[in-house]
A = this chain, B = another copy of it.
Amino acid sequence: MSHNSFGHLFRVTSWGESHGPAIGCVVDGCPPGLKLTEADIQPWLDRRRPGQSKFTTQRQEPDSVRILSGVFEGQTTGTPIALHIDNVDQRSRDYGAIAEQFRPGHADLTYDLKYGVRDYRGGGRASARETATRVAAGAIARLILGRVRIRGALVQMGPHGIDRARWDWAETERNPFWCPDPVAAASWETYLSDVRKRGSSCGAVIELVADFVPAGLGAPIYAKLDADLAGALMSINAVKAVEIGDGLASAALSGEDNADEMRMRDGEVTFASNHAGGILGGISTGQPIVARFAVKPTSSILAPRQSVDRQGHDVDVVTKGRHDPCVGIRAVPVGEAMLACVLADHLLRDRAQNSGRRGGNT
């Protein structure tokens, strides 16, 4: 990853600020001959779109994507695909106060220290609005991945986890939280309503699962699949932790318990467990890829916090404006997109080096 680009062969370069005229990205390296129209991208953007329930920011952005290049007569041509999303509902007036003040937990201070100048409107470049371009790029990545299935779920909201015995993927489409546990979803509704009314916020943990990933993806040592995935997920706004497979919990396991035992079944290697999260030595095993990431509570809250301003005065900051009480909810489709992009990139990389060999992914 390099400044505003990520990926090596499937390479995404994003641009745009929260309150500029538009945001967008350039997707380079996409194979030719894939069927692609805006209709293949828009549904994924709609999942991330704000203003869809009372639990996300009330900013109304249609997030209509336009393909400006790289597609001809409905097919990708192998040239860079420019994706463009106009900003519609900017309302910059909400943010005038933060031009001079540094909101705790936000990037205001650090952008100012680093660059000496920043577009403070709505968080500028540091706004979660940028993640729309990731979702758009991820939609193209999915086309490359063919039958690979990528799904995400919220498995913890604030301090409240789910009961994994009740996990039902279909449930994630039925509640506004992408929660796979209907009982937890119901209780979260009450919890988050209260958080929202108090002008407070909470964090979340998201779990991503990719099924049907071919074995052999990942390029050790410094482009391990899990390393690239960790970087990609950590680059999402507000993410503070990334786990692969058993993650932190694996530290407490014994070697015996952690071993994913193997047996042949119908001529295929099968595993008795998946503590590894589908990755060994940085390379996919063919098992489902499992990753989790933790999102901190939204930093924009109504309760006044101590801070300083650009002139070096102590101030108390109250963040008004429209915000997500739990920004982790909308991080679900973003995480899915990043996983898709990483896998697509590694599929192409593996094809380059290993095509035609045992395990090569053509």
Chain B residues whose CB sits within 8 angstroms of the CB of A233 once the complex forms: 230
User: Do the beta carbons of A350 and B230 come within 8 Å of each other?
Assistant: no
The verdict on A362 contacting chain B, using a C-beta distance below 8 Å, is yes
Stretch at the interface among A37-45, A47-55, A238-246: A238-246
CA A294 to CA B276, docked complex, whole Å: 13
* Closest B residue by C-beta to A72: B119
Q: Is the CB of B28 within 8 A of A277?
A: no
Contacts of A275 in B (CB 8 A): 296
Report the separation of the CA atoms of residues A106 and B50 in the bound assembly, to the nearest whole angstrom. 43
Q: How distant is A307 from chain B, measured CB to nearest CB, in Å?
A: 5
Tell me, yes or no, whether A4 is within 8 Å of chain B by CB. yes
State how many copies of this chain the complex holds: 4
Given contacts A77-B115, A79-B125, A259-B105, contact A348 B352 (CB under 8 A): yes
Contact with B along A218-258 (1 / 0, CB 8 A): 11111110111111111101011111111110111111111
Number of interface residues of A (CB under 8 A): 159
Interface check A9, CB cutoff 8 A: yes
B350 touches A114 (CB 8 A): yes
Chain B residues near A242: list those with CB within 8 A: 230, 234, 241-242
| Chain B residue at minimum C-beta to C-beta distance from A75 | B117
Contacts of A303 in B (CB 8 A): 255-256
Residues of B within 8 A of A200 (CB): 254-256
Are A68 and B256 in contact, CB atoms less than 8 angstroms apart? no
Q: Contact between A1 and B222 (Cβ–Cβ < 8 Å)?
A: yes
Within 8 Å by CB of A264, from B23, B277, B298, B312, lies: B312
B113 touches A286 (CB 8 A): yes
Q: Are A251 and B114 interface neighbours, CB within 8 A? A: no
A258 touches B296 (CB 8 A): yes
Judge whether A69 and B20 touch: CB under 8 Å.
yes
Measured CB to CB, the nearest residue on chain B to A219 is B3
Using CB atoms, name the residue of chain B closest to A14: B221
Question: B residues within 8 A CB of A24?
Answer: 68, 82
Smallest CB-CB separation from A328: which chain B residue? B251
- Contact (Cβ within 8 A) A353 B78: yes
B285 in contact with A110 (CB, 8 Å): yes
Can you list 16 contacts pairing A with B, beta carbon distance less than 8 Å?
Answer: A17-B70, A24-B82, A29-B352, A32-B354, A75-B117, A77-B119, A77-B124, A105-B259, A109-B280, A113-B286, A125-B220, A203-B252, A240-B246, A241-B248, A247-B294, A272-B306
